Amino acid sequence: MNQVAILAGGLGTRLRARLGDLPKPMIPIAGQPLLARQIELARRHGFHRVTLFVCHRPDLIERELGDGRRWDIQLDYVAETAPLGTAGAVLAGWDDLEEEFVVMYGDTMVNLDLTRLCATHRQSGADATLVLHPNNHPFDSDLVECDDNDRILAFHNRPHPPGRWFQNLVNAGLYVIRRPALAGFHDAFIAEKPPRALDFGRDIFPAMLRQGKKLMGYNTPEYIKDIGTPERYDKVCDEVARGVVERSSFTHPAPAVFLDRDGTLNHEADGLRSIDQLRLLPGVSEAVQELNRGGFRVVVVTNQPVVAKGFVSEKQLREIHNKLESLLGLEHAYVDRVYYCPHHPDGGFPGERPELKIACECRKPAPGMLLRAARELNLDLKRSWMVGDTTVDMQCARNAGVRPLLVETGHAGRDGRFSASPERSFPGLPEAVRYILQQSSLPAPAP
């Protein structure tokens, strides 16, 4: 794969006071045009060809960026005579597309491991791979539903129907696409006179799903944010200046806070079996939001033997976790990933599932879920923490090499199953998070 297609056609009306007559993708970020930063990212990950789809002031963009020689890449320009939408612009430039290519929106600040993204796409054999991420306002976002293997099942546009809980995954506006998968759309597009504007998220991807094409989600906590309003632009500039953008890439190991679920985030229900039983503990949304702001990956790790016992199906558990993510999102908080262990070693339950009655490496206190998260999210376990309400959580933290904190909600450490002790105990998650943030601002303790 050698081509990145950047959709650089936006005028940026809401940023007009900052832009003047500049096209939106040319807005400066720390003294450098946003487009130049995207081109550098592509080159850093081995791409040698960038194609710019431009509409507003292509002359200005070409005069500023030239032919790409300064980055040692081939820089091509495809001009739109009229706005055609994100997908329409690409379909209109059909002859300039390679067999597989990356699509990037020109009004997004991106720091993402494109090499890893493309390798995941190839391995899956997908027709298209969409970069997805959680956000802190899923209630007013278009959401993407995936199965446990990251295959996209559905798109849920806002407003969401009342009483339905959806996974907090948002289309981030960065894709890897196989050109042959778009052939039918291209033929229909050029047959219309004049061609109508088409959008990838609204038009193309839902239609591909209806046709049975394979769409995969690439869920990543890496940095990708649009700069479409003055407030978003100012925030991106601030996060560039503070190093947040640089540290966000998978090329940099990140610290994490691992959170137990029942008794830590939500009220303990002695084996939660119904979505109606899920109620967040006081203050946990604000605490998770503080971790989001503090630069930590936030990862839920939970034993769910109710699956092995036959009390809850994977589908029901997924809906429970969707509600958890949605309730956090209502308070502008999010978790980067939820991992669960469905196993249980003991038999004797009516309706149990024999294939899940095993001794596994993921059931806490075994560290399997934490180690998997470390691989998938490139986590620095030495700078990471575990917060839970049981001695099982404390032993798991010790086994994984992360710092253990106990909360006095839920079981409050009274389960007595292991002798592992916490570093500190706190009344609840808000107090534990304050301690984590305080400790993380201090020099690391001696080994």
CB 362 within 8 A of CB 307: no
Give CA separation, 373 vs 66, 337, 348, 380, 393, in Å.
42, 8, 32, 10, 16
State how beta strands 74-79 and 49-54 pair.
parallel
The number of residues in the chain equals 447
Active-site pick, 107, 113, 260, 336: 260
21 classed as catalytic: no
262 classed as catalytic: yes
Active-site pick, 113, 127, 226, 262: 262
Backbone φ and ψ of 445, nearest 5°:
-65, 155
Residues annotated catalytic, as ranges = 260, 262
